[in-house]
A and B are shown apart, each in its own frame.
Chain A
């Protein structure tokens, strides 16, 4: 692994992203608009918005990173550039690291905008500090990236890659406690929920919401998300083959 090549790769991926102005605008603006919409829907119940809006702050970067990573990497695989890169000094981890840095920057920018809008204009309130929310959102987005990387190996077209969303992203949204409290789900479903990493991102956010101080429970939940991101990255890197048929 070479740090120099990792940063060159990250620079290239960011440049690709910046050349696509429309996508940049969508990435930066859509989460804020959606959270504003949710806030208007829950107009009469600001305390409900405090928990739902907060969860969305971490969920959007996760979903966005999953989508853009799976599609960009699929393009690398099908467009021949991945094969070409595998004949250059670029290591697999350089490539994955480049993606993590580039899309991590994108996810962080998105989160800063969405969190600013939520805190300053939509009246979002948390007992704990905003930086902890930001940190949880960025770690969740890296998990999304790693999952997208892994999934791109199983799609042969962009259409298929999009179809993986309902399989890998939607269940985590439904079971993380956003639409229904986890302790009121069927027992077996709680077990499934326990196995999904985004559940722990939500638990960490709940800690920030209710405690003015950073708690040990928050660090524990956040480490679980980080560990899941690491495992998915290793699995994803394993799908990058230097030799193929």
Chain B
């Protein structure tokens, strides 16, 4: 794959084993700066493993992952890359505000910036509630605020919209789009196909391999299908035929 100068994330021949089982079987891709890339695939396909490799918390067997031109997870990247884990990684015994203010402070951001991020995820009315007493969707949004507050250049989100109200989901996707327009690079995993159309580019992961790396429009065109769910199915059938 030819290197593109504007790639914010560059993955080459990445192989990851977990517990002796291959999870990622030599995957490569380029993710352009200032774009929203959707990482789609069924659960167990390796989405979280791929994401953890990008933020540098996953032990890798071979291959390289570079973010903003540096090896993933290295020190200079830690103030430029934010990671929102699948299960809300926040402190249940702290309030929403204390959680966001803590992560904000780690990056030298103020409490008022923390409140701004809380407002942006629609949690302003709950800022003083303990995180333990929040609903699942509210916890997810708090976790998201902890990442948004640092205005990262690269934002990596693992299934951020699971269990959210459709209205809030819509608002979040608008925010993701807004961040990308300001130049941020977003990698968002999802297993909901109806979110795929909101991405600039899609990575379809199945059994540890990318079976597609394309724009939504090109994916539909090349498979001759009307929706992405059908396109995904088409690709899987083609692969099975080929085997």
Contacts and interface: CB of A to CB of B under 8 A. Distances in A.
Given A88-B106, A89-B78, A90-B106, A12 B91 contact: yes
Given A83-B57, A87-B56, A245-B59, A15 B89 contact: no
A241 to B, nearest CB: 9
B91 A243 contact: no
B83 A87 contact: yes
B78 A244 contact: no
B78 A88 contact: yes
A87 B57 contact: yes
A230 interface: no
A15 B94 contact: yes
Interface string B121-148: 0000000001000000000000000100
B238 interface: no
A20 B93 contact: yes
Nearest to A91: B75
Interface residues of A, number: 22
Interface in A226-245: 242-245
B18 A245 contact: yes
A19 B81 CA distance: 30
A132 interface: no
A86 interface: yes
Contact of B89 (A20, A80, A245): A80
B73 A19 contact: no
Contact of B107 (A19, A89, A245): A89
B58 A81 contact: no
A19 B55 contact: no
Nearest to A72: B93
Contact of B98 (A15, A79, A80, A89): A15
Interface string B208-223: 0000000000000000
A19 B89 CA distance: 18
A220 interface: no
Interface string A69-86: 000000000011101101
B142 to A, nearest CB: 12
Contact of A81 (B59, B73, B89): B89
B107 A12 contact: no
Interface in B80-114: 81-83, 85, 87-95, 98, 102-103, 105-107
B26 to A, nearest CB: 18
B175 interface: no
A80 B56 CA distance: 15
B89 A83 contact: yes
A8 interface: yes
A244 B106 contact: no
B5 to A, nearest CB: 26
Interface in A108-153: none
Contacts of B87: 80
A8 B106 contact: yes
Contact of B19 (A11, A244, A245): A245
A210 interface: no
A86 B81 CA distance: 12
A90 B79 CA distance: 10
Given A12-B94, A12-B98, A20-B93, A86 B57 contact: yes
A20 to B, nearest CB: 6
A107 B91 CA distance: 22
A243 B106 contact: no
A245 to B, nearest CB: 5
Given A19-B130, A242-B73, A89 B79 contact: yes
A125 to B, nearest CB: 41
Which 5 pairs show the lowest CB-CB distances between chains A and B? A80-B89, A84-B89, A12-B102, A8-B105, A87-B83
Interface of B: 18-19, 55-59, 73, 75, 78-79, 81-83, 85, 87-95, 98, 102-103, 105-107, 130, 146
